[in-house]
Amino acid sequence: MLLAIETSCDETALALFDLKRFLGGELLRAEIVSSQVALHEPFGGVVPELAAREHLENLPFLIKKIFQDVPGAEEELSAVAVTRGPGLNGCLLVGLSYAKAFAYARGIPLLALNHLEAHLFAAELEENLRELNLPALTLLVSGGHTELVLIEEFRKYRLVARTRDDAVGEAFDKSATLLGLPYPGGPALAECAKAGRPGELTFPQGMKSEPTAFSFSGVKTAVSREVTRLGASLEDDQVRADVARAVEQALVKALVSKTAKALKKCAPKTLALSGGVAANAVLREELAALAKKSRVEFRVAERRWCTDNAAMLAVLAARIIEREPKRYLDWRGKAGDLGPDARTGTGALPRWPIEKIGTAP
Ligand code: KG4
Ligand code: ZN
């Protein structure tokens, strides 16, 4: 059994995987995602210190609960996986310290892994854990990251494009706030946009001709200007829906057109979509259509596994263990050690870019 712990932002998430059954396919035995949305809602965004304290309060209770859900699992536990970064430092520290102590007290190995890498593996949770056909081009879109990553081989990543300013999730969230929509903004804006009429408005696409960079801060500024221009008429639901739709169109278009260019350049076998914004229905549809047109396989996880969760971390850990079981499962460290791959120190890594995985961060 493998226990995965994810606390990088505002979800306290756990998953229990059955490593013995891994090759047989059925693997996920239990899963908990405890969202802090209600806690942060009055502030209109995640408050890092509150989030960290909430993880600390939740973790012991949720771990107890997940073992109650799967009788016998606790006795059979053979490894712990935890998110080491990137994310909010205080939040990461809570999960990491907990996992270190938990693994050491039981004398079992620990795998301290990268959150972005885990997002990439969410795409394998679909289709009964079928591995991605490599090379795969992945569009990784979340509240903190927007990048196109080429997975050349297992755990070998090449950065193709990255945002120069805001992440696309941030652009969704901030535009939603400007439009007076409820927290969390991304899903609220997508919901509101459904009633929007096409072609009423257009917003700019940042860095249109630059293949290696995204830019989303211009959309936010343009939305802010539009909101001022519209004034009181924004209270009309139809007007607001039209703006929301135009924002969603602009953001999705920027992502899809850059992905199309990267597909031509990289010629991968698979196109995958991951990260919280991958829950967006319009983006899923348009990227699936692009993959079809480009004759590459398209992979994306169910929506619940696109936003933060621990099941994706468990798949990553299981794949690592599967390749070198002795190296990982026989590893025994001292108190506070971070597992066989921890080359640099024992702390959390709030900044840990994906292309640095496997080398010193
Ligand atoms: O991966 P994630 O859960 O957390 C991070 O690691 O950042 O991503 C959260 C982001 C937020 O910006 C949220 O607004 C956005 O994903 N998001 C969406 C949708 N669902 C979540 N954005 C657009 N449409 C959605 N349906
Ligand atoms: Zn995430």
91-121 as b/e: b if 16+ CB within 10 A: bbbbbbbbbbebbbeeebbbbbbbbbbbbbb
More confident residue, 279 or 346: 279
Q: What is the model's pLDDT at position 127?
A: 82
Contact 173, 186 (CB under 8 A): yes
Residue pLDDT, tens place only, 228-283:
999 999 999 999 999 999 999 999 999 999 999 999 999 999 999 999 999 999 99
Please compute the mean of the pLDDT values over residues 204-216 and round it to a whole number.
90
Q: Cα–Cα distance between 184 and 194 in angstroms, integer?
A: 17
Please compute the mean of the pLDDT values over residues 157-171 and round it to a whole number.
97
What spacing in Å lies between the alpha carbon of 276 and ligand 1's midpoint?
4
Confidence grade of residue 103 (pLDDT, cut at 50, 70, 90): very high
Contact 136, 343 (CB under 8 A): no
Statement: residue 324 has pLDDT above 80: yes
Statement: residue 341 has pLDDT above 90: no
What spacing in Å lies between the alpha carbon of 166 and ligand 1's midpoint?
13
**Among protein residues, the one whose CA lies closest to atom 24 of ligand 1:** 280
SS3 state at 88: coil
Which protein residues have their CB within 5 A of the ion that is ligand 2? 142, 308
Q: What is the mean pLDDT of the chain?
A: 93
Q: What is the model's pLDDT at position 19?
A: 81
Give the burial class of 147: count Cβ atoms within 10 A of its Cβ; 0-12 exposed, 13-18 middle, 19 or more buried: buried
- CA max distance for the chain: 65
Statement: residue 26 has pLDDT above 80: no
**Reported pTM:** 0.94
Q: Which of 171, 183, 173, 354 is nearest to 255 (CA)?
A: 171
281-300 as b/e: b if 16+ CB within 10 A: ebbbebbeebbeebebebbb
Confidence grade of residue 343 (pLDDT, cut at 50, 70, 90): low
Sequence-separated (6 or more) residues with CB below 8 Å from residue 356? none
Is the beta carbon of 339 within 6 A of some atom in ligand 1?
no
What spacing in Å lies between the alpha carbon of 235 and ligand 2's midpoint?
33
What spacing in Å lies between the alpha carbon of 86 and ligand 2's midpoint?
9
Please compute the mean of the pLDDT values over residues 288-300 and round it to a whole number.
98
Statement: residue 47 has pLDDT above 90: yes
Is the beta carbon of 215 within 6 A of some atom in ligand 1?
no
Q: What is the model's pLDDT at position 344?
A: 65
Statement: residue 337 has pLDDT above 90: no
Ligand whose nearest atom lies closest to the CA of 117: 2
Statement: residue 197 has pLDDT above 80: yes
Is the beta carbon of 144 within 6 A of some atom in ligand 1?
yes
Residues paired with residue 3 on neighbouring β-strands, in sequence order: 16, 80
**Among protein residues, the one whose CA lies closest to atom 8 of ligand 1:** 276
Confidence grade of residue 354 (pLDDT, cut at 50, 70, 90): very high
Statement: residue 27 has pLDDT above 80: no
Please compute the mean of the pLDDT values over residues 145-166 and round it to a whole number.
96
Is the beta carbon of 9 within 6 A of some atom in ligand 1?
yes
Statement: residue 22 has pLDDT above 80: no
Pairing of strands 136-141, 11-17: unpaired
Which of 7, 10, 119, 142 maximizes ligand 1 atoms within 8 Å of its Cβ, making it the mutation to test the pocket? 142
Statement: residue 126 has pLDDT above 70: yes
Please compute the mean of the pLDDT values over residues 28-32 and round it to a whole number.
83
Counting atoms of ligand 1 from 1, which one is nearest the CA of 170? 12
Strands in 136-141's sheet, in edge-to-edge order, are 213-214, 156-163, 146-153, 136-141, 270-274, 297-300
Is the beta carbon of 143 within 6 A of some atom in ligand 1?
yes
Statement: residue 219 has pLDDT above 90: yes
What spacing in Å lies between the alpha carbon of 143 and ligand 2's midpoint?
7
Ligand whose nearest atom lies closest to the CA of 172: 1
Please compute the mean of the pLDDT values over residues 327-343 and round it to a whole number.
83
